[in-house]
Chains A and B, each alone.
Chain A
Amino acid sequence: MKSSKTHENQPKRSNYAERNLWAGILFGLGLVGFIDEVVFHQLLHWHHFYDKSTSDIGLVSDGLFHAFSWFATIGSTFLIADLHRRNAFWAKRWIGGILLGGGAFQLYDGIIQHKWMRLHQIRYNVVIRPYDWVWNLIAAGMIIAGIILIVRTRNRVPSRKAAS
């Protein structure tokens, strides 16, 4: 930890590696939920508020995920503020968390909610298959990129000083 390349806050951010990761995962979940709502529901009007084919379990799942992602969006920004206040923010690991959280939510939305629970489709009155493939491949790509970043920012120092 002597070269100028290492970050000043390295020891601190190592202590808060987990919090950086969670701040990212929650922010990613919220971000994808937000994009889903603003872009696909409100701007494009591709998604429907409610679809006749929606199962009861789909309604419950959607409600829980919507509430959780709403909370996560706001909560994660406070986590980021907390990490900055402690000078322990780790951008690379945080971005890894965003990609993992966002990708996981999108994959869940694309496979479980859209296809299995038939909550609503990505778009109506079109051949849906290409949309589903693009949707889920992007999700898978995000997850893989996220995991790579998270693995590359693993703590080399095995110090486990969990401060809350």
Chain B
Amino acid sequence: MSSHSFHHHGAGMYEGATVWHPWEWILSFFLAGLILLYWTAAAVSNRRHRIWPAHRYVCWIAGLTCIGLSLAGPLARLAPANFPVHMLGHLLLGMLGPLLIAFSAPMTLLLRSINVLFARKISRLLKSKLVHCISHPLVAALLNIGGLWILYNTGLFTAMHSSLILHIAVHFHVFAAGYLFTVSLICVDVVPYRRSFRLRAFILIIAMAGHGILSKYLYAHPPDGVPSEQAKLGGMLMYYGGDAVDLVLVLWLCMQWYRSSRPRPASFHPIPD
């Protein structure tokens, strides 16, 4: 596609921007339903448990809003024709959205809202070999960053825009891998197994590097059908946007180390002056 056709396409978008597709309505209702469900679950379980913290509601709503913005509405419609907008959507769907949702601790809320028998089944599922394997930071990072390398450096990027199934599959993968990666590192929610700080820090650095390298690579090597100027802007957005979200991950990880390594009273020896 030439940049001319991009421009034309973009202009056409504004004219029809007020008309929503049926699936955009469905998605909006689905996300609104999830917000309502979360609110209800928290309110009901507040009767028997500790009061659910207010900031988690905010994280949940903001996280689902990020997903909604990237999948429906003006941003999502401009995305196929405009690479920087596509990249903004990717940051919302694959990084910021998952991060906010992870901080809203949906698994903890689920486990305390349902009856014990069902909760046991879920925690057994969380302890299964498969979950144990894919929640390893290394596997999650590979799924996340590896998936992006495949998306932008094969024909998948072009194919995604002409096939609905592929479109849905890729977007699901971007979110799921981003979420898996986030929860494997920050451990706010219920996790089957918490890995050592060193391992998580090491994997995070490698994943951040992989993300940064890919964004500079895209800057110089545009994916199929993306004009050079758009690839440059998109690459820089991916680079700096990724850094901004990673800042929160690094801060949180270091904060966990700081808390867990606090001096214990047992090892405290007063020094005589």
Contact of A78 among B210, B235, B257 (CB under 8 A): B257
The reply to whether A67 and B262 form a contact with Cβ atoms under 8 Å apart is no
Q: In the complex, which residues 123-150 of chain A have their Cβ closer than 8 Å to any Cβ of chain B? A: none
Closest residue of B by beta carbon distance from A75: B254
The reply to whether A63 and B236 form a contact with Cβ atoms under 8 Å apart is no
Contact of A71 among B204, B235, B239, B267 (CB under 8 A): B204
Please tell me the number of chain B residues within 8 Å of chain A, measured between CB atoms: 31
Minimum C-beta distance from B200 to chain A (A): 11
Main secondary structure of the interface of A (DSSP, over half): helix
Q: In the complex, which residues 216-273 of chain B have their Cβ closer than 8 Å to any Cβ of chain A? A: 216-217, 219-220, 235-236, 239, 243, 246-247, 250-251, 254-255, 257-258, 261-263, 267, 271, 273
The reply to whether B271 and A12 form a contact with Cβ atoms under 8 Å apart is yes
Give Cα A99 to B213, complex, Å: 28
The reply to whether A50 and B262 form a contact with Cβ atoms under 8 Å apart is no
Given contacts A50-B219, A163-B267, contact A71 B261 (CB under 8 A): no
The reply to whether B217 and A59 form a contact with Cβ atoms under 8 Å apart is yes
The reply to whether A59 and B216 form a contact with Cβ atoms under 8 Å apart is yes
Tell me which residues across on chain B come within 8 A of A66, comparing CB atoms. 208-209, 212
Please tell me the number of chain A residues within 8 Å of chain B, measured between CB atoms: 28
Minimum C-beta distance from B201 to chain A (A): 7
Main secondary structure of the interface of B (DSSP, over half): helix
Q: In the complex, which residues 55-93 of chain A have their Cβ closer than 8 Å to any Cβ of chain B? A: 59-60, 62-64, 66-68, 70-71, 74-75, 77-78, 81-82, 85-86
Give Cα A146 to B141, complex, Å: 36
Minimum C-beta distance from A18 to chain B (A): 15
Minimum C-beta distance from A109 to chain B (A): 15
The reply to whether B201 and A78 form a contact with Cβ atoms under 8 Å apart is no
Tell me which residues across on chain A come within 8 A of B257, comparing CB atoms. 78
List chain B positions with a Cβ less than 8 A from chain A: 201, 204-206, 208-210, 212-213, 216-217, 219-220, 235-236, 239, 243, 246-247, 250-251, 254-255, 257-258, 261-263, 267, 271, 273
Additional A-B contact list (20), CB under 8 Å, known A68-B209, A71-B250: A8-B271, A49-B219, A50-B216, A50-B219, A50-B220, A50-B235, A63-B210, A63-B216, A64-B205, A67-B208, A70-B243, A71-B204, A74-B254, A75-B201, A75-B250, A75-B254, A81-B258, A82-B258, A85-B263, A164-B261
List chain A positions with a Cβ less than 8 A from chain B: 8-9, 11-12, 49-50, 52, 54, 59-60, 62-64, 66-68, 70-71, 74-75, 77-78, 81-82, 85-86, 163-164
